[in-house]
Homo-oligomer: A and B are copies of this chain.
Amino acid sequence: MTESAQIVLAGLDAIRSDLEDLYQDLHRHPELGLREQRTAHKASDALRAFGYEVTAGIGGTGVIGVLANGDGPTVMARADMDALPVREQTGLPYASTATVTGPDGTEQPVMHACGHDVHVTCLIGCARLMAQAKDVWRGTFVALFQPSEENGDGADAMIDDGLTSRSPRPDVVLAQHVLPYPAGYVGTRPGSFLSAADSLAITVHGRGAHGSMPQAAVDPVVMAAMIVVRLQTIVSREVAATTPAVITVGSIHAGSGPNIIPDSAVIQLNVRTYDDETRTQVLKAIERIVTAECEASRSPKAPEIKRISSFPPTVNDEVPTRRVAEAFAAHFGDSAHTIDLQTASEDMSEIPKAFGVPFTYWGIGGIDPDRYAEASRNGTLAQNIPVNHSPTFAPVIQPTLDTGVSALAVAALAWLGT
């Protein structure tokens, strides 16, 4: 297998420049979830050019390319394609200036602030290398480009649109994510890897009045503020210190001016947990607190708590994870690590679940190694290393792309290599 990988990856030098151009092009043209037409076309066109049998438009913009290469296992590698409504502040020459009209009619900035452009580029690169070296592997390689990971509905969209009957059933599903580790780093982890994530939109109701007459109002701004404050006590007091949990109120909106007490307030929040018991406990505690705080404010109407999105925990299967970890150790040497539990979420696991097959998911680094080392020495990692979703998140192009392409190929060949 190791030898297969060496042969397959020998082709990387020749395509590196193409991949770097592709990456910059994708970065310049980010697309929000379920709108990834341009990105999907790039992927489809590339796969077709490499000789894959392509099915596009699965679940809107999802794409699969199948390269059958004789008897053997089937390996599916998945990349997600969507970007985020973030205004890029990287200052990169290939920074995004894209905007899009949002659901409320306003112009929203768009940015690949989570590195899905890296994922797409690396999977296209791997797909190309696999197609160029078909004599050192046997079986079927499936490249899957998924829409709308950020909204948690892209994997489901593909599944609902018949993915399992439109693709060969894989023996294993592979996926990777670029993370704020030094570029070159590859990190695997058996068991829990990513958190469950539940996003809620909560509307609380007061009663509006002129700002000078609070006694005629039920003030939803104070009500929402008390809820934000009170929610902190769930993590600080109701969950054990050794049980990871996060509640982030990402947005709060009420009123349109200084002087009119509005009728209602809306907060949106996100919950991260790593097991079902804690997940249930925290979601119940949120409902309890929101309800009680509305009562404390004599709210005239019950609050509305709506689920915006819901991500399962990503729990890597032990067997394929060990297989990939060994292949990485052989190929990457000291750059192969066991990665820490990550407080992020993914809907990727829905895909293997739909097929009823195991999966493994790993991380690759995207930060300039010297910069990372310096921040680490100075204890300023949190301040100086932009993380995913930040407006300054900017993976270095190399060795990030080389590592991502190699990791996909090495992992796939752990099943397919001869």
Given contacts A270-B211, A270-B258, contact A232 B222 (CB under 8 A): yes
Among A10-18, A104-112, A327-335, A359-367, the one that faces the other chain is: A104-112
* A201 in the interface (beta carbon within 8 A): yes
Identical chains bound together, number: 4
Given contacts A252-B265, A288-B296, A382-B216, contact A389 B246 (CB under 8 A): no
* A49 in the interface (beta carbon within 8 A): no
The listed residue (B208, B222, B253) touching A249 by CB distance below 8 A is B222
A390 touches B210 (CB 8 A): yes
The listed residue (B233, B241, B256, B388) touching A244 by CB distance below 8 A is B241
A235 touches B235 (CB 8 A): yes
Given contacts A228-B225, A229-B225, A242-B340, contact A259 B250 (CB under 8 A): yes
Contact residues in B for A210 (Cβ distance below 8 Å): 344, 387-390
The listed residue (B254, B292, B343) touching A240 by CB distance below 8 A is B343
- Binary CB contact string for chain A from 359 to 401 against chain B (1 if under 8 A, 0 otherwise): 0000000000000000000010010000111110000000000
* A247 in the interface (beta carbon within 8 A): yes
In whole angstroms, what is the CA distance A16 to B196 when docked?
50
Among A242, A247, A285, chain B packs the most CB atoms within 10 A around the CB of A242
In whole angstroms, what is the CA distance A229 to B236 when docked?
10
A207 to chain B, nearest CB (A): 8
The listed residue (B251, B298, B387) touching A216 by CB distance below 8 A is B387
* A357 in the interface (beta carbon within 8 A): no
* A214 in the interface (beta carbon within 8 A): yes
Given contacts A215-B238, A248-B212, A389-B259, contact A228 B233 (CB under 8 A): no
Contact residues in B for A212 (Cβ distance below 8 Å): 195, 197, 241, 246, 248, 270, 272, 342-345
Question: Which residue on B lies nearest to A248, using beta carbons?
Answer: B211
Task: Kindly list 20 other residue pairs between chains A and B, CB separation below 8 angstroms, not including A212-B272, A222-B229, A242-B244.
Answer: A85-B257, A86-B260, A105-B107, A108-B256, A201-B258, A209-B389, A211-B270, A212-B344, A214-B240, A215-B238, A216-B390, A219-B249, A221-B251, A226-B233, A250-B261, A251-B256, A252-B255, A255-B268, A257-B268, A258-B270
Contact residues in B for A254 (Cβ distance below 8 Å): 251-253
B252 touches A258 (CB 8 A): no
A272 touches B241 (CB 8 A): yes
A160 to chain B, nearest CB (A): 23
Task: Sample 30 A-B pairs with CB under 8 A, ordered by A number.
Answer: A86-B260, A208-B389, A210-B344, A211-B246, A211-B272, A212-B246, A213-B240, A213-B343, A216-B382, A217-B237, A219-B233, A224-B252, A225-B226, A225-B252, A230-B296, A235-B235, A241-B244, A241-B272, A248-B259, A249-B255, A249-B258, A250-B255, A250-B261, A251-B257, A257-B268, A258-B308, A260-B389, A277-B379, A292-B296, A293-B296
